[in-house]
C-alpha cells in the first residue's frame, strides 16, 4: 500500500439477528413436534431454549406466555415448563368474548355454533344409535331427570345436566376432537346466549321434552327417529336466535 493511502476499516461483524417473537413461538412448537412430546412432558429449561433458538430470555418468556394462553405449554412454578393439555379453552375464550363484545354481529355466530353441534350429532346418527350402551342410555335418561328436577331457569343445575347429556351422547364415537369441539361450541353458546335474550322458560321446558325424545329413539335403536328428534330439538333454537336478532 502506497504512502498516504487510506486504510479501510474492516466492517464490524454484525450480531446474529434476534428472532422475532412469533419465530420463537414457532420454534418451541417445532421442538415439541420434532421430539414427539405429549401433554405433561417436560420442556428444556429457559437457558437451554434461549441457546437452541438463539433468542433472548425476554423473547423466550414472552413466547412461553403466549403458548400458555393457548394451553400448548404449562408453567408449573418451582418445577419447570411442560407441554400443556392442548385443549380448546383458547377457542372458547375467543368466541365467547367476541359474542359478548359484538352481539349484533354474533347472532350469526350463535346460529353457526348450533349448526356445528347438530352436524356432529345428526351426521353420526346411525353410529350413535348402534354404539350407545344400555348403561349409557340409562345415564342419558338420568340427565333428562336432572334437567327436570333443576327446573327451568333455576341456577346451573339445568345447564350442567344439558351439557353432560350432549357430551355423553357423542362419547361412543371415541373421537376426542369431535367431543372437544362439540363441548367447546356448547360452552360458548351457553355463556353468550343469556346475554342475547335467547333463553326463555318455554325454551327450557321444550328442551326437556326434546331430550326425552332423543333418549327414546336411542333406546329403540331407531336412527331415523333419533335424527328427527335432533332436528326438532335444534329448530326452535334457531328460531329463537332469529327472533332475538329481529328485536335488536
Domain boundaries, the chain: 21-83, 89-247
- pLDDT band at residue 109 under the 50/70/90 scheme: confident
The CA-atom distances, in angstroms, between 2 and each of 8, 9, 10, 11, 95 are 13, 16, 19, 22, 73
Per residue in 48-104, pLDDT (tens digit) is: 999 989 999 999 999 999 898 778 899 998 889 999 887 766 666 666 666 555 555
Indicate if the pLDDT at residue 207 is higher than 70.
yes
Indicate if the pLDDT at residue 13 is higher than 50.
no
* Residue for grid cell 356432529: 120
Q: What's the confidence (pLDDT) of residue 197?
A: 59
Q: What's the confidence (pLDDT) of residue 112?
A: 79
Q: What's the confidence (pLDDT) of residue 6?
A: 43
Q: What's the confidence (pLDDT) of residue 18?
A: 60
Q: Which of 7-16, 95-104, 171-180 has the lowest mean pLDDT?
A: 7-16
**What's the CATH class of domain 21-83?**
mainly alpha
Q: What's the confidence (pLDDT) of residue 113?
A: 77
Helical segments of 102-200, H only: 103-123, 125-131, 134-150, 157-170, 176-192
Q: Which of 45-54, 107-116, 184-193 has the lowest mean pLDDT?
A: 184-193
Q: What's the confidence (pLDDT) of residue 72?
A: 87
Quickly count: other Cβ atoms within 10 Å of residue 62's Cβ.
15
Indicate if the pLDDT at residue 9 is higher than 50.
no
Q: What's the confidence (pLDDT) of residue 149?
A: 86
With H, G, I as helix, E, B as strand and everything else as coil, classify residue 200: coil
Helical segments of 35-101, H only: 46-53, 57-69, 89-101
Indicate if the pLDDT at residue 121 is higher than 70.
yes
Q: What's the confidence (pLDDT) of residue 199?
A: 57
Q: Which of 15-29, 149-163, 170-184, 207-221 has the lowest mean pLDDT?
A: 149-163
| Residue with more model confidence, 97 or 242 | 242
Q: Which of 39-53, 102-116, 185-199 has the lowest mean pLDDT?
A: 185-199
**CATH fold of the domain at 89-247:** 1.20.120
Compute the distance between CA of residue 147 and CA of residue 137 in angstroms, rounded to an integer: 16
Calculate the average pLDDT of the chain.
80
Highest averaged pLDDT of the listed ranges 13-17, 28-32, 83-87: 28-32
Please compute the mean of the pLDDT values over residues 151-165 and round it to a whole number. Answer: 74
Q: What's the confidence (pLDDT) of residue 11?
A: 38
| Residue with more model confidence, 176 or 197 | 176
Amino acid at each position: 500500500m502506497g504512502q498516504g493511502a487510506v486504510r479501510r476499516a474492516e466492517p464490524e461483524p454484525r450480531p446474529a439477528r434476534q428472532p422475532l417473537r412469533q419465530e420463537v413461538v414457532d420454534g418451541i412448537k417445532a421442538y415439541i413436534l420434532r421430539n414427539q412430546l405429549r401433554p405433561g412432558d417436560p420442556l428444556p429449561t429457559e437457558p437451554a431454549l434461549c441457546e437452541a433458538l438463539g433468542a433472548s430470555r425476554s423473547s423466550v418468556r414472552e413466547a412461553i406466555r403466549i403458548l400458555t394462553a393457548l394451553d400448548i405449554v404449562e408453567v408449573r412454578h418451582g418445577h419447570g415448563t411442560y407441554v400443556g393439555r392442548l385443549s380448546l379453552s383458547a377457542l372458547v375464550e375467543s368466541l365467547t368474548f367476541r359474542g359478548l363484545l359484538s352481539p349484533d354481529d354474533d347472532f350469526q355466530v350463535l346460529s353457526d355454533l348450533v349448526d356445528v353441534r347438530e352436524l356432529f350429532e345428526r351426521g353420526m346418527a346411525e353410529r350413535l344409535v348402534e354404539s350407545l350402551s344400555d348403561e349409557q342410555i340409562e345415564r342419558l335418561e338420568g340427565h333428562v331427570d336432572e334437567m327436570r328436577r333443576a327446573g327451568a331457569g333455576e341456577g346451573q343445575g339445568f345447564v350442567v345436566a344439558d351439557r353432560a347429556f350432549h357430551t355423553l351422547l357423542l362419547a361412543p364415537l371415541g373421537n376426542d376432537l369431535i367431543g372437544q369441539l362439540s363441548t367447546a361450541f356448547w360452552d360458548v353458546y351457553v355463556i353468550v346466549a343469556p346475554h342475547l335474550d335467547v333463553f326463555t322458560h318455554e325454551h327450557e321446558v321444550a328442551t326437556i321434552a326434546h331430550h326425552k325424545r332423543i333418549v327414546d329413539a336411542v333406546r329403540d335403536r331407531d336412527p331415523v327417529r333419533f335424527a328427527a328428534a335432533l332436528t326438532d330439538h335444534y329448530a326452535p333454537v334457531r328460531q329463537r336466535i332469529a327472533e332475538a336478532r329481529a328485536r335488536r
